[in-house]
Structure formats: structure tokens, C-alpha cells
């Protein structure tokens, strides 16, 4: 049975996203558009409009053309959305990058996306210069903040009058706007090709999350390099909402921001929600402006939702999707059932299929969730095999999640096929860790799984077959920690086995590994 949204289809404007948002924000004038809580800076909608034009004009003068790629490797800041829209005006594509990535991780992404320009935090400048030596396509590196040897964003933008704002012909359904990275259902990170039409659809469909209400002040500490972060930032610009964001999470810091800016809505992931449920610091602050929290990026326990709603007197809206759907597929603005991820978004259809046969299943029957909608990606960059594994011949995108729907069309996610480990909302691909571990001279074989963790959701755990008997767990943990981002550390520990259980075809039998006892956690 194919399930349709209970909401009527919405009209998706067939215009480039930057043109649509530029026209929208002209209506908001000198209202505050974005507040950088980390740096104590704010910017009005009029200034955003001006900087988009100046940035696009400057980039175009410096040779940016249709199809060129701009990489943003930064913590949350006001310039993030401006660069995405300015690059789009040049016909360019933005790719997002976690600023804590080490050189090898960034190179893996950049060798695929081939960025011509990078904007980065000052701390990452030398790392980017080193990377540029290995990437002939990378022409220029700009920094946020004044950094010796670099041109700053401020210098680039404020030295341009915006008069050479480009007019580029855009095919909204074919031309790419964003190139985030996702591990999809399995394997190493892949470039997700998102068009102007995909992002425009996301902007329009997100209205259902807020149930037609425009929020006056929105707070976000979710990283902007994550699909949850950048999509909400662009949406808030379009809606004329004051977007208050921070680059790091601390409970009291968040509570103070909520009070100071009279925040009505905010984004969170389950680990943040858990901290908010546990703290007593909320009593120090006036949080009466709060109306709603939007939860995403990982499943949220119904008991935690109840606790947050009662403690803060707000509504918690769950959303569900994936990077490949920009990311919204489901949302429940009225939170009818706490263990459900909600109703189908407008313009979107889903069905649940048998994992083995592909047969369509009915009410209450668990199978793989597949979906279609205008927000669905074009495919994976230069990876037709991975695209074919994710989007079938009938155009359904396979989520890799197992679930069912009830008689009211509410969807329930109960498990997942995909092997991704979700650490505090971040995706960790076991295949990436395994590939790295196998480069260690003292490791003969390796497998990685996610194990449950009370605060982080899941943490990576490695099973190792030694080549050298002297190898210790600490040796393995240090080897991974020095090569990869902090959230990919082996916090689940390292266990040594005589052999890794595998199928006749050589696939790691992770279900067998999950049966083994959890010995320890590394924090």
C-alpha cells in the first residue's frame, strides 16, 4: 500500500533558491535576521541581502562560474547561509565540511567534490593550505577573521559594491545547489547531489513542521554543516525569523540565550534533550517565551519527549528524514503519538516493503521504509552504483530504516538496516573506521559496530584480530583518535578476537558481534 500525506500538496516555485530567498528577505528590512551568540554579532535582513549580492559579485569577479564548487569548513556563523546563496547566484555548488575533520578526512571529501574555493575558520587555514598542495583544483582559501597570509571574508565582501551581481541561467531541477556528504545506507561518505528544486521543496514543505505558524525567534546549536542545520537556517531566512545560533552546546549557555532572545522555537538532538531534562539550571531563567522544540537527526525516546514537554511547557515536534531528502520526509506538528515520527510531509509518498522480496506491506507490518518526493536527491556524485542501490528503478529512495505505519498513516521507525553509528547526531560509518584500522601494521582484521551509550546514543566499538601479540587496546584507540574527528573515537572500547565472524561471501556478521558483552566505555 502506498501511503500519501494527509496534507494537501503545496506548490513548489520553479525559481532558483537564491532568487526566491533574496526576494523574500527584502520584505523584512532592518529586522534582525541572524544572531551569532558565540561572537556577539548580529545582522539584519537588509545587511544579509546586501552581503549576498556583494559576495556573489566578488566571487564572480574572481572567476567563479557555473558548476564551480565552494567548500565551507566552519563552525556555525552568520556567513554560512550568505556564502551558500552567493555561490548559488554564480551558478555554483556549496559543499559543507565538519571543521574538526583532520587532513585525511577532508582530502577524501575534497578529492570527490573538487572545490575551487574554500571558506574556513582561521584555525583551519594552515590545514587547508596543506590540502591545496594536493588538490590542483583548489584555487583560493578565504578565512573568517583576519589571518596572516589569507584574504578574509570581510575583505572580500566589503571591498565589493555588488554591482557585478551575476545573472546565471539556472535549470532548477538539474543544476546542483548543495553537495553535503552522507554515508547513505552503507559504506564510506558519498556526495549527495541536491538541486535548487530539492532545496526549494524542502523550504516549502517545512511549513508543516511549524503548522503554518511563523516563529519570531529560533535558536539552533545543531551544526550548519549538517543537513538539519543548513536547511533550518535557510528556512528561517525565508520566513523572516530571527535565527539565534551558537557553535557549541552548554546547558546554561543555551538557557541564557533562550531567555535573552525570547526564543519561541529551537532545534535539538536527543543528547541535548537529555541534558535539558537532567538540569536544574532552568529555574534560574525566564523561559516563558518557549513554544516548541524540533527534534531530529536521531530517534528520541517517548519518555524523554514527555519529560521535556512537561518540564518546559512546550510542544516537541519530531521530524524524520535523511540527507538524501534534505532531510524532511515525515513530521508530526501536533505530536499525537510520542513513539511515532509523524505523518508524511506534503508532496511526499511512502510505502513499507518486505526486506527480502520487495513486496508492499500493510498496516502494522515491519519492513524497509521507501519514499518519493520533490525533496529527493538527484543521486550520489560520481557514484552510479551507490545511487542505484539507494534509488530503485521505480524512483523510490530506500531509507535503510525498518518500520511500519498504523491505520492513521503515522509512521513508526523500529530499527535500521544501515550500519551507520549515530553518535550525538553525528554519523559514523563503520566501513571508514575499518578501512583505517586495516592500515595499522599490527592489525590483521577488524570490524566496528555501534553499541548503546546512555548519553551519546551510540559509540563505536572495534573488534580486532592481532597481527602482533604486543598490540594493546590503548594502541588501537590512540591510532584512531589521531587520524579522525573526535566523534569517531572508539569510545565503545576495543576487544580482541581470534577471528571476525563473516558470511560465506565475506560480509562481516555484525549481529554476531552485537551478541558479545559490552566490556567498557571510553569517554
The dihedral built from the CA positions of residue 439, 444, 447 and 448, taken in this order, carries a sign that is negative
Distance, in Å, from the CA atom of 345 to the CA atom of 7, rounded to the nearest integer, reads: 7
CATH architecture assignment, domain 421-514: 2-Layer Sandwich (3.30)
Cell (9 digits) for 26: 527584502
Cell (9 digits) for 235: 528556512
pLDDT, tens only, 308-339: 999 999 988 877 878 888 766 666 656 566 77
Q: Is 470 exposed, middle or buried (0-12, 13-18, 19+ CB in 10 A)?
A: exposed
Mean pLDDT value across residues 142-170 = 91
Cell (9 digits) for 167: 545573472
C-beta of residue 315 within 8 angstroms of C-beta of residue 321: no
Mean pLDDT value across residues 357-384 = 92
Domain topology for 41-169 = Rossmann fold (3.40.50)
The dihedral built from the CA positions of residue 410, 373, 239 and 250, taken in this order, carries a sign that is positive
pLDDT, tens only, 215-273: 889 998 888 888 888 888 999 999 999 999 998 888 999 999 999 999 999 888 877 88
Confidence of residue 5 (pLDDT cuts 50, 70, 90): confident
For the cut 90, the answer to whether the pLDDT of residue 110 exceeds it is: yes
Sheet holding 411-416, edge to edge: 3-4, 349-353, 367-372, 397-405, 411-416
Q: In the chain, where are the structural domains located?
A: 41-169, 421-514
- Per the model's pLDDT, the better-predicted residue between 37 and 503 turns out to be 37
pLDDT score of 422 = 83
C-beta of residue 419 within 8 angstroms of C-beta of residue 186: yes
C-beta of residue 375 within 8 angstroms of C-beta of residue 304: no
pTM: 0.82
Closest CA to 176 of 197, 200, 203: 197
Q: How far is CA 384 from CA 147, 185, 388, in A?
A: 40, 14, 6
Q: What percent of the chain has pLDDT over 90?
A: 53
Distance, in Å, from the CA atom of 87 to the CA atom of 56, rounded to the nearest integer, reads: 6
For the cut 80, the answer to whether the pLDDT of residue 484 exceeds it is: yes
pLDDT score of 148 = 85
Confidence of residue 516 (pLDDT cuts 50, 70, 90): confident
- Per the model's pLDDT, the better-predicted residue between 184 and 69 turns out to be 69
C-beta of residue 368 within 8 angstroms of C-beta of residue 399: yes
Confidence of residue 185 (pLDDT cuts 50, 70, 90): very low
- Residue 334: how many other CB atoms lie within 10 Å: 10
Confidence of residue 415 (pLDDT cuts 50, 70, 90): low
For residue 113, the 8-state DSSP code is H
For the cut 50, the answer to whether the pLDDT of residue 360 exceeds it is: yes
Residue 45, classed as helix, strand or coil, is helix
For residue 454, the 8-state DSSP code is T
- Residue 409: how many other CB atoms lie within 10 Å: 17
Give the lowest-confidence range in 193-202, 341-350, 479-488. 341-350
pLDDT, tens only, 271-283: 788 889 889 999 9
pLDDT, tens only, 13-31: 999 999 999 999 999 999 9
Amino acid at each position: 500500500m502506498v501511503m500519501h500525506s494527509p496534507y494537501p500538496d503545496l506548490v513548489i516555485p520553479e525559481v532558483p533558491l537564491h532568487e526566491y530567498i533574496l526576494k523574500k528577505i527584502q520584505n523584512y528590512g532592518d529586522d534582525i535576521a541572524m544572531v551569532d551568540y558565540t561572537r556577539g554579532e548580529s545582522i539584519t535582513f537588509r545587511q544579509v541581502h546586501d552581503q549576498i549580492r556583494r559576495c556573489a559579485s566578488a566571487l564572480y569577479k574572481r572567476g567563479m562560474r557555473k558548476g564551480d564548487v565552494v567548500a565551507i569548513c566552519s563552525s556555525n556563523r552568520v556567513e554560512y547561509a550568505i556564502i551558500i546563496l552567493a555561490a548559488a547566484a554564480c551558478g555554483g555548488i556549496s559543499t559543507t565540511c565538519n571543521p574538526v575533520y583532520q587532513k585525511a578526512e577532508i582530502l577524501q571529501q575534497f578529492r570527490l567534490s573538487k572545490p575551487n574555493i574554500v571558506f574556513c575558520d582561521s584555525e583551519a587555514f594552515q590545514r587547508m593550505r596543506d590540502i591545496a598542495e594536493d588538490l590542483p583544483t583548489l584555487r583560493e582559501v578565504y578565512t573568517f577573521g583576519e589571518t596572516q597570509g589569507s584574504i578574509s571574508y570581510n575583505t572580500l565582501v566589503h571591498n565589493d559594491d555588488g554591482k557585478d551581481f551575476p545573472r546565471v541561467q539556472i535549470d532548477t531541477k538539474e543544476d546542483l545547489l548543495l553537495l553535503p556528504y552522507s554515508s547513505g545506507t552503507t559504506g564510506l561518505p558519498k556526495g549527495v547531489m541536491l538541486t535548487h528544486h530539492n532545496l526549494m521543496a524542502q523550504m516549502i514543505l517545512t511549513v508543516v513542521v511549524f503548522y503554518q505558524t511563523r516563529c519570531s525567534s529560533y535558536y539552533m546549536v545543531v551544526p550548519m554543516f549538517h543537513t538539519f542545520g543548513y536547511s533550518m537556517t535557510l528556512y528561517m531566512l525565508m520566513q523572516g525569523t530571527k535565527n539565534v545560533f551558537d557553535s557549541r552546546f552548554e546547558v546554561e549557555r543555551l538557557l541564557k540565550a533562550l531567555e535573552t532572545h525570547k526564543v519561541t522555537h529551537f532545534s535539538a538532538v536527543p543528547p541535548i534533550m537529555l541534558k535539558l531534562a537532567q538540569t536544574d539550571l532552568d529555574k534560574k531563567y525566564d523561559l516563558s517565551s518557549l513554544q516548541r522544540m524540533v527534534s531530529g537527526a536521531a530517534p528520541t525516546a517517548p519518555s524523554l519527549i514527555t519529560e521535556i514537554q512537561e518540564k518546559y511547557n512546550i510542544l516537541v515536534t519530531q521530524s524524520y528524514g535523511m540527507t538524501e531528502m534534505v532531510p524532511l520526509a515525515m513530521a508530526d506538528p501536533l505530536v499525537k503519538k510520542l513513539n511515532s515520527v509523524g505523518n508524511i510531509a506534503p508532496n511526499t509518498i511512502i510505502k513499507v516493503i518486505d526486506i527480502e522480496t520487495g513486496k508492499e506491506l500493510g498496516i502494522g507490518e515491519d519492513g524497509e521504509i521507501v519514499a518519493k518526493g520533490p525533496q529527493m536527491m538527484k543521486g550520489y556524485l560520481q557514484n552510479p552504483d551507490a545511487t542505484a542501490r539507494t534509488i530503485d528503478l521505480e524512483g523510490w529512495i530506500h531509507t535503510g530504516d525498518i518500520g511500519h505505519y498504523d491505520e492513521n498513516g503515522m509512521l513508526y521507525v523500529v530499527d535500521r538496516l544501515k550500519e551507520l553509528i549515530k553518535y550525538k547526531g553525528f554519523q559514523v560509518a563503520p566501513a571508514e573506521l575499518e578501512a583505517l584500522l586495516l592500515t595499522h601494521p599490527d592489525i590483521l582484521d577488524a570490524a566496528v559496530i555501534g553499541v548503546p551509550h546512555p548519553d551519546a546514543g551510540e559509540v563505536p566499538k572495534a573488534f580486532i584480530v592481532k597481527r602482533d601479540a604486543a598490540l594493546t587496546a590503548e594502541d588501537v584507540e590512540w591510532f584512531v583518535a589521531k587520524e579522525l574527528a573526535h566523534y569517531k573515537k572508539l569510545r565503545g572500547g576495543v576487544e580482541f578476537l581470534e577471528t571476525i565472524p563473516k558470511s560465506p561471501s565475506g560480509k562481516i556478521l555484525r549481529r554476531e558481534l552485537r551478541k558479545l558483552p559490552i566490556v567498557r566505555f571510553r569517554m
